[in-house]
């Protein structure tokens, strides 16, 4: 019963976060060339355009997911996000990344490469989970693994938290777990991500939170520092 309640809260926060991402892409997104780093199968990539007439590109490490995205009309490159991206300097008007940065190890390469491939004054829209959310703080007080970091093993979907919403789910994504692509390695608070972007010469334009368990998801907009998810819009200086 408790897991079912938390699942509903999680889904509510996730849906609001997606609306926030689309809102920021629509607000700040200019130009015609957009890149989605960590595009998965391309389903979400198609949604972020908000009916804008743009050319969509993607980078994805899981080969069979990349092939699916390619069939949807996205120009996908297969490769790691912790290496040089296969594009020339100043190629894109907007780069998008949703729920990707927490899966990586070398964040400096990730952010510096995004900056390199952006045009002057280009826009980055990046979203991730927040380790400082109230439900993660609650888990730590209980001596449990944070909800955000229970997926740390290829042997079991969730470890260290009895209320983790995927702890009893079938481990169907083992075959998709190429290079540990589905495991969380680093989580960043809104302040940490903001500082990381600033040291890589980005100007932060806006931050929006979503999810505020056990309260309704929109409370996350009022207190981004403790929201479940958050999205940042930043501009290349």
The CATH number linked to 225 is: 3.40.50.150
What is the arithmetic mean of pLDDT over 16-22? 97
The conformation of residue 146, written as its DSSP 8-state character, comes to: P
SS3 content of the chain, % helix, strand, coil (to 5): 40, 20, 40
What is the arithmetic mean of pLDDT over 51-67? 93
Q: Which residue has the tokens 């390619």?
A: 70
Sheet of strand 55-60, all strands in order from the earlier edge strand to the far edge: 75-78, 55-60, 33-37, 92-98, 118-129, 229-236, 202-210
How many structural domains are present in the chain? 1
| Residue 81 contacts residue 38 (beta carbons within 8 Å) | yes
Which pTM was predicted? 0.91
pLDDT in tens, 103-158: 999 999 999 999 999 999 999 999 999 999 999 999 999 999 999 999 988 788 88
Domain that holds residue 118: 2-236
pLDDT computed for residue 172 by the predictor: 44
pLDDT in tens, 76-89: 999 999 999 999 99
What is the arithmetic mean of pLDDT over 165-176? 52
- Give the gyration radius of the chain's Cα atoms: 17
| Residue 127 contacts residue 229 (beta carbons within 8 Å) | yes
pLDDT at 47 over 90: yes
Residues in a beta bridge with 94: 34, 123
Query: Residue 124 contacts by C-beta under 8 Å, 6 or more apart in sequence?
Result: 94, 95, 96, 97, 114, 115, 118, 197, 202, 232, 233, 234, 235, 236
| Residue 211 contacts residue 228 (beta carbons within 8 Å) | yes
């Amino acid at each position: 019963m408790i897991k079912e309640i938390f699942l509903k809260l999680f889904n509510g926060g996730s849906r609001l976060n997606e609306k926030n991402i689309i809102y920021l892409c629509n607000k700040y997104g200019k130009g015609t060339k957009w890149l989605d780093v960590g595009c998965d199968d391309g389903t979400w990539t198609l949604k972020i355009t908000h009916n804008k007439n743009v050319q969509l590109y993607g980078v994805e490490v899981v080969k069979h997911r990349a092939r699916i995205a390619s069939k949807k009309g996205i120009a996908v490159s297969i490769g790691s996000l912790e290496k040089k991206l296969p594009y020339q300097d100043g190629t894109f008007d907007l780069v998008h990344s949703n729920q990707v940065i927490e899966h990586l190890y070398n964040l400096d390469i990730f952010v510096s490469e995004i900056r390199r491939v952006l045009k002057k004054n280009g826009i980055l829209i990046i979203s991730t989970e927040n380790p400082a959310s109230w439900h993660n703080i609650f888990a730590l007080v209980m001596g449990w693994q944070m909800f955000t970091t229970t997926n740390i093993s290829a042997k079991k979907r969730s470890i260290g938290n009895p209320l983790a919403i995927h702890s009893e789910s079938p481990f169907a994504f083992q075959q998709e777990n190429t290079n540990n692509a589905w495991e969380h390695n680093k989580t960043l608070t809104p302040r940490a991500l903001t500082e990381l972007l600033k040291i890589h010469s980005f100007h932060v334009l806006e931050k929006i939170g979503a999810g505020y368990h056990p309260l309704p998801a929109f409370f996350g907009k009022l207190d981004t520092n403790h929201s479940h998810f958050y999205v940042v819009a930043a501009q290349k200086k």
